[in-house]
Amino acid sequence: MAVESIKITNTDTDTDPDPDLSLVLSYKRRKEDDFEEDPKEFPILSPYRKRRRLEEEEPDPDDSTQLPEFIKIEELPDAILFEILYRLPCRWALQCKSVSKRWCSVISHPLFVRNAMLHRHPFSKSNTEPFTLVLYHDKKILALPFDEDCGGVGDGDVDGDGDGLDFLDFLPCIEFARKNYPFCVEASFNDLLLIRSVVLPIVNSGFTEYCICNPITKQWIILPRLPYEVNSGILLVGFICNPDSCDKEKGCITNGHYSYRVVRIRSPTQSNTTQIRMQIFSSDTGEWCDSLVSSPRGLNSFVGTPAHAGVVACNGLLHWVDENDRMIRGFVVFDPFNSAQGCRYIDPPIDFSRGEWVSFGVFQGRLRIFQKSSLQCPRSFSVWELEDYNNAGTWCLKYKIYSEDMVSEYSDLLKMAKEKISTGSLLAFHPNVGEIVFLQFRKYIVLCNMRTRVLTMAGRLEKLLPGYFDSLPAKYVFLVGQPSWPTPVPLPLKFECPSPFLFSEFVSKRQKFKKQQQEVEKLRATPTPIPLPV
Q: Which is nearer to other proteins, 9 or 231 (CB)?
A: 9
Q: Does 484 bind other proteins (CB under 8 A)?
A: no
Q: Which stretch binds other proteins (CB under 8 A): 78-86, 184-192, 224-232, 300-308?
A: 78-86
Least CB distance to other proteins at residue 160 (A) = 21
Least CB distance to other proteins at residue 90 (A) = 7
Least CB distance to other proteins at residue 95 (A) = 5
Considering only 35, 84, 138, 512, the residue that binds other proteins (CB under 8 A) is: 84
Strand order in the sheet with 235-244: 235-244, 257-266, 273-282, 287-299, 339-346, 327-335, 317-324, 312-314
Q: Which stretch binds other proteins (CB under 8 A): 45-53, 195-203, 309-317, 420-428?
A: 45-53
Q: Does 8 bind other proteins (CB under 8 A)?
A: yes
Considering only 35, 62, 78, 87, the residue that binds other proteins (CB under 8 A) is: 87
Considering only 17, 62, 70, 105, the residue that binds other proteins (CB under 8 A) is: 70
Distances (CA, A) of 522 to 150, 515, 519: 47, 11, 5
- Cβ atoms < 10 Å from Cβ of 133: 24
Q: Does 71 bind other proteins (CB under 8 A)?
A: yes
Q: Does 51 bind other proteins (CB under 8 A)?
A: no
Considering only 104, 246, 397, 491, the residue that binds other proteins (CB under 8 A) is: 104
Q: Which stretch binds other proteins (CB under 8 A): 70-78, 256-264, 356-364, 520-528?
A: 70-78
Q: Does 122 bind other proteins (CB under 8 A)?
A: yes
Q: How many residues does the chain have?
A: 534
Residue 295 dihedral angles phi and psi, to the nearest 5° = -130, 140
**Per-residue x/- marks for other proteins, 290-329, CB under 8 A?**
----------------------------------------
What CA–CA distance (Å, rounded) separates 304 from 374? 17
Task: Give the start-end residues of each E strand in 138-256.
Answer: 140-146, 183-189, 192-199, 207-214, 219-222, 226-227, 235-244
Strand partners, 236: 265
Are 437 and 430 spatial neighbours (Cβ–Cβ below 8 Å)?
A: yes
What CA–CA distance (Å, rounded) separates 354 from 286? 40
Q: Does 101 bind other proteins (CB under 8 A)?
A: yes
Q: Does 88 bind other proteins (CB under 8 A)?
A: yes
Q: Does 32 bind other proteins (CB under 8 A)?
A: no
Q: Which is nearer to other proteins, 55 or 74 (CB)?
A: 74
Residue 343 dihedral angles phi and psi, to the nearest 5° = -115, 170
Which residue type occupies 339?
A: S
Strand partners, 192: 189
Q: Which is nearer to other proteins, 36 or 74 (CB)?
A: 74
> Which residue in 139, 138, 218 sits closest to 178, CA to CA?
139
Q: Does 7 bind other proteins (CB under 8 A)?
A: yes
Q: Does 522 bind other proteins (CB under 8 A)?
A: no
Considering only 53, 80, 355, 496, the residue that binds other proteins (CB under 8 A) is: 80
Are 430 and 370 spatial neighbours (Cβ–Cβ below 8 Å)?
A: no
> Which residue in 163, 159, 155, 160 sits closest to 444, CA to CA?
155
Residue 32 belongs to what H/E stretch?
Answer: helix 19-34
Q: Does 235 bind other proteins (CB under 8 A)?
A: no
Considering only 212, 216, 236, 241, the residue that binds other proteins (CB under 8 A) is: 216
Cα 148–Cα 152–Cα 154 angle in degrees, nearest 5: 160
Considering only 15, 98, 391, 528, the residue that binds other proteins (CB under 8 A) is: 98
Q: Does 42 bind other proteins (CB under 8 A)?
A: yes
What CA–CA distance (Å, rounded) separates 267 from 265? 7
Contact residues toward other proteins (CB under 8 A) are 1, 3-9, 11, 18, 20, 24, 40, 42-46, 48-49, 52, 66-67, 69-74, 76, 79-80, 83-85, 87-92, 94-104, 122, 216-218, 510
